[in-house]
């Protein structure tokens, strides 16, 4: 049995993770963490998540809870995750990280922590999205440089980073197939007199509104045809289920940084 803690436990993703863990036979929730001052502090996290009392009380002190868990699942924010990594590294606790919007320096620190602990770090934990990454890479390999590539993503109005981490990963999949460097070719939106499109560029367009869980479309367009590969998330549960699957995977690793392609055996 693997003991798991959740940060951001009272948030929408945190509550979904609580529900997903409750359905897993080999994962047990033993700690729930929220930020200081959160209204849910002191409350049974099962009550917050609507799964019924489970005896896990929400606290604001991750360091004090380290003895109670083996793996931390962290879907919080770039302002919080680096500190969580430091604590887990110090106490040799494994991690599943779904936080997006981290800087290059923060990601570098995450990868450095992988020298001491095992971490699964992915932009998206949906099994369907990870299949989409592979499909997009295959399409780019088949179509080659003769097609313009545009990526459109849509999320709820509360999302704080753009483009989404998943959209960037889709761009990386295209670049991997075509031998491009994403920072050199990414174009984020267009306005004014932009001139003719650079054939090597990859366009990113972010929509925000309502309660859209997550939608991503990669468009390959040529003079004579257009291929579109789309993934639409209808519930956060698919992300949570994948994250719990990643927790079971990382529990069996010693050190290193892995992604969902590793969890699903797609990197073999």
Q: Beta strand 186-188 with 148-155: parallel, antiparallel or unpaired?
A: unpaired
Candidate CATH numbers 1.10.630.10, 3.30.360.10, 3.40.50.11290, 3.30.830.10; the one for domain 127-233: 3.30.360.10
For 164: left if phi > 0, alpha if psi spans -120 to 50, otherwise beta; the answer is beta
Q: Can you give the residue ranges of every domain in the chain?
A: 2-121+236-263, 127-233
The per-residue pLDDT for 34 is 97
The per-residue pLDDT for 103 is 93
CB-based burial label for 123 (10 Å; 0-12, 13-18, 19+):
buried
pLDDT digits (tens, 9 = 90+) for 84-138: 999 999 999 999 999 988 999 999 999 999 999 999 999 889 999 999 999 999 9
* 3-state SS class at 170: helix
10, pLDDT greater than 70: yes
| pLDDT more than 90, % of the chain | 94
pTM: 0.81
Q: Please answer whether residues 144 and 138 qualify as being in contact, where contact means their C-beta atoms are separated by less than 8 angstroms.
A: no
The per-residue pLDDT for 267 is 75
Spelled out in words, what is the top-level CATH class assigned to the domain 2-121+236-263?
Answer: alpha beta
The per-residue pLDDT for 266 is 79
Residue 268's pLDDT band (cuts 50, 70, 90): low
* Catalytic site positions: 155, 159
The closest alpha carbon to 204, from 174, 238, 159, belongs to 174
DSSP for 81-123, please give it: HHHHHHHHHHHT-EEEE------HHHHHHHHHHTTTSEEEE-S
d(CA 244, CA 4): 9
78, pLDDT greater than 90: yes
């Amino acid at each position: 049995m693997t003991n798991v803690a959740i940060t951001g436990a009272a948030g929408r993703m945190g509550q979904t993770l609580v529900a997903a863990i409750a359905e897993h036979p080999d994962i047990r929730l033993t700690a729930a963490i929220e930020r200081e001052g959160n209204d849910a502090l002191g409350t049974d996290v099962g009550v917050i998540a609507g799964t019924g009392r489970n005896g896990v009380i929400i606290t604001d002190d991750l360091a004090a809870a380290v003895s109670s868990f083996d793996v931390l699942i962290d879907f919080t924010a770039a302002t919080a995750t680096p500190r969580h990594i430091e604590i887990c590294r110090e106490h040799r606790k494994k991690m599943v990280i779904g936080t997006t919007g981290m800087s290059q320096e923060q990601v570098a620190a995450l990868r450095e922590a992988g020298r001491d602990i095992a971490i699964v770090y992915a932009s998206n934990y949906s099994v369907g999205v990870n299949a989409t990454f592979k499909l997009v890479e295959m399409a780019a390999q088949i179509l080659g440089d003769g097609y313009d590539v545009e990526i459109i993503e849509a999320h709820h109005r509360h999302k704080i980073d753009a483009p989404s981490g998943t959209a960037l990963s889709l761009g990386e999949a295209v670049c991997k197939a075509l031998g491009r460097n994403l920072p050199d070719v990414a174009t984020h939106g267009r306005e004014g007199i932009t001139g003719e499109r650079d054939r090597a560029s990859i366009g990113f367009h972010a929509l925000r509104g309502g309660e859209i869980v997550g939608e991503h479309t990669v468009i390959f367009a040529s003079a004579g045809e257009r291929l579109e590969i789309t993934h639409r998330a209808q519930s956060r549960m698919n992300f949570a289920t994948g994250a719990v699957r990643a927790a079971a995977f990382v529990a069996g690793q010693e050190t290193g940084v892995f992604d969902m392609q590793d969890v699903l055996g797609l990197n073999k």
